Structure 1
Amino acid sequence: MRNTKTKQSIIIGLLLLAAGMVIFYLCKSGNTRLVKQAVSNTWHFPDTNTLASTPGAELIRYGRELIINTAVYFGPKGIVKHISNGMNCGNCHLEAGTRLNGNCFAMVASAYPKFRNRSGKLESIEYRVNDCMERSLNGKKLDSLSREMKAMVAYIKWLGKDVPKNVRLKGIGIPEVPLLKRAASVDSGGSVYLKNCSRCHGANGSGILKPDSTGYLFPPLYGSNSYNVSAGIFMLSRFAGFVKYNMPFNASQKDPALTDAEAWDVAAFINSQERPGKLFKEDWPDIATKPFDYPFGPYADSFSEQGHKYGPFEIIKKGKKNK
């Protein structure tokens, strides 16, 4: 009887020890996924009224101005340089990067420097700003030591100043739209565009210029002055999520104006139109890490560029998970 109790005690002790080792390993190894799931809350951007007492307030304000009115400073009629297509950073990062589910900047300060598969290296905030300059604004890089770059970085860091590392906040980035069972339809998307988008972005997608032509009241969604094919929004999942939960402009995650199918289809229509074809040969050095909807080969799977661009995506995504 005593031997049986001793054996039971030993077994229980070993189980507790094993459990403790697992917990210790998860904590010690920095399992950020576990932390991000455990600690999650909604972000509220800092009050601009507090800027008066903030060190570097003038630089932060200038950074915000550059995000909102990028074209005034760097567009075809820019007062600093003529190095972009006339769009603004705020066209993709809504409400100066503060709108939840609208590509907001809340987690940038806490997440960078960050390794990204697209470049295959550790990236700084300055690197990411220039990425957007070259891709979404189809322009040229800023000098990383320029006052303008310092101002934008200061503003972005100020927005995320209260966000701790390894915390995944709600409403950050672009929400995912459920995948369709079929490929996205360019034809159906054209009808969605005419009904919901053309009144602001124009029947031909060229946007509406400001009266002084320093930038756009409503940005071009395609054509020579729009984002190029290397912009993140050129991938359908990104565009579908952005348009589903932000467009028309008063839409939200709680009250979207488009169905899932309409979001995918209008994304397919817009991204099938003519636009600058600028590619970066150094992108995705490990082709196995390309997103399922990245539309340019080569790929680590056997699906075509057409399939990777328009879908159906379920089978492609499942194939990536199984590798």
Structure 2
Amino acid sequence: MLAFILVFLLITDLPRLINRKNPVEEIQRDSVVYQKPLWQAMSMDALVHEKDPELIKYGKELIANTSLYLGPKGKVRSISNGMNCQNCHLDAGTRPWGNNYGAVLSTYPKFRGRSGTIENIQKRINDCFERSLNGKGLDSNSREMLAMKSYIEFVGQFVPKDSIPAGSGIWKLKNLKRAADPIKGQVAYEQKCVTCHGQNGEGVMNADGTAYTYPPLWGVHSYNVGAGLYRLSRFAGYIKANMPYGATYDKPQLTDEESWDIAAYVNSRPRPHKDLSKDWPKRSAKPADHPFGPYDDGFSEQQHKFGPFKPIEDFKKAKNKK
């Protein structure tokens, strides 16, 4: 029995488990304080201990190569726009501050203000299909849904319930004192982003036309206006920690201002519409950067889309104290 336990610990990355017990180190970089050690996904080597390892492998494959199975030319069905989940959730949802799945298992089911309901992981997955992939949701009992859910739960093992580990989700940038500027963003985009995403944001399709090697950032095949990255703060933080290709949270290639401005430029371009009339049923709960009214704070839709956001946030804080 002791030998089995030792083998299990080695397979599942003993250094990471040890680091979880070490004091958390806070590190200042630019405008952000972050913590170490960062969350690390469960190693796929640990699948030998899972009840259905093939289902988890299939889940990872679906996230990495969504379009091959569920895109316009999908092997299983055609329900999405040709992008892969991995285009937004980098390294199949395991990269630090790459919109990863580190806090999914630990925090779901949970109440989400956008829907005004308690949501489970299946609902969260289908939100991505309907918004970021501009498609249709999966049947909650389908093998594909069960596989993706199993993989997300697998990589988030050992994160304590109701906790959010360092490095999970998306990098949070400090607000600009000005509005993000799409014109400045276009200049930066043309200098830093065109090689992969194209002059017209069209992305690069693979040779057999089944998926995008580099995803489209606007246009009919991109994410729609209901996607999480259509919120400027989310997209700017994502860009800062991951873009252009080769950038990481600790070796960024863009300034904070460039990240905000590129996000503003990309999100100002045409993209698919989605009916959001049922989003944010409690109007006062809308985030400062939710780009569609009506609002209850007196600020314009333009400011909610591009900022500056601090005056809106300050107003909300003051109102909540009353």
Place the TM-score, normalised by the shorter chain, in its bin.
0.7 to 0.9
Residue 250 (str. 1) matches residue 230 (str. 2)? no
Pair 1:49-2:19 in alignment: no
Name the SS of the counterpart of 2:268 in structure 1: coil
Tell me which residue corresponds to 1:111. Answer: 107
Query: Take 1:110 and 1:183, find their aligned partners in 2: how far apart are those partners?
Result: 35
Aligned counterpart in structure 2 of residue 185 of structure 1, from 166, 181, 185: 181
**What is the correspondence of 1:201-240 to structure 2 with a 5 Å cutoff?**
201-240=197-236
Q: Which residue of 2 aligns with 1:63?
A: 59
* TM-score of the superposed pair, with normalisation by structure 2: 0.87
Aligned to 2:166: 170
Q: Does the 8 Å CA contact 1:41/1:169 hold for their aligned counterparts?
A: no
User: Greater shift after overlay, 309-318 or 150-159?
Assistant: 309-318
For structure 1, the residue ranges without an aligned partner over 5 or more in a row are 1-36
Bigger-Rg structure (1/2): 1
Q: Which residue of 1 aligns with 2:16?
A: none
Aligned equivalent of 1:5: none
CA distance in 2, matches of 1:47, 1:242: 24
2:279 counterpart letter in structure 1: D
Report the CA distance between 1:53 and its aligned residue.
3.2
Partner Cα distance (1:181, 1:107) in 2: 30
Q: Secondary structure at the match of 1:122?
A: strand
Aligned partners of 1:318 and 1:301: how far apart in 2? Answer: 11
Which string of whole-angstrom CA distances, capped at 9 and with x for unpartnered residues, describes residues 179-226 of structure 1? 111111111000111011110000100100000000000000000000
- Deviation, 1:92, is 0.7
Per-residue Cα deviation, 1:35-78 (whole angstroms, up to 9, x for no partner): xx9x9852221121221332110000000000000000111101
How many residues are aligned here? 286
Q: Which residue of 1 aligns with 2:303?
A: 307
In structure 2, what is the equivalent of residue 130 of structure 1? 126
Q: Which residue of 1 aligns with 2:276?
A: 280
Aligned twin of 2:17? none
Q: Retained in 2: the 8 A contact 1:102–1:246?
A: yes
Question: Percent identity between the aligned chains?
Answer: 53
**TM-score, with normalisation over the residues of structure 1?**
0.86
Which structure 2 residue ranges, 5 or more long, are not aligned?
1-25, 27-34
What is the rounded CA distance, in whole Å, between the counterparts of 1:312 and 1:279 in structure 2?
26
Partner of 1:262: 258
Match of 2:150 in 1: 154
CA distance in 1 between partners of 2:167 and 2:49 (Å): 28
* Partners of 1:40 and 1:168 within 8 A in 2: no
Say whether the 8 Å CA contact 2:204–2:215 is kept in structure 1.
yes
Tell me how far 1:166 sits from its aligned partner. 2.6
Partner of 2:3: none
Measured in 2, the distance between the counterparts of 1:41 and 1:256 equals 19
- Please give the residue correspondences for 1:26-105 in structure 2 after superposition, counting only pairs within 5 Å: 41-105=37-101
Q: Is the 8 A contact 1:117 1:286 kept in 2?
A: yes
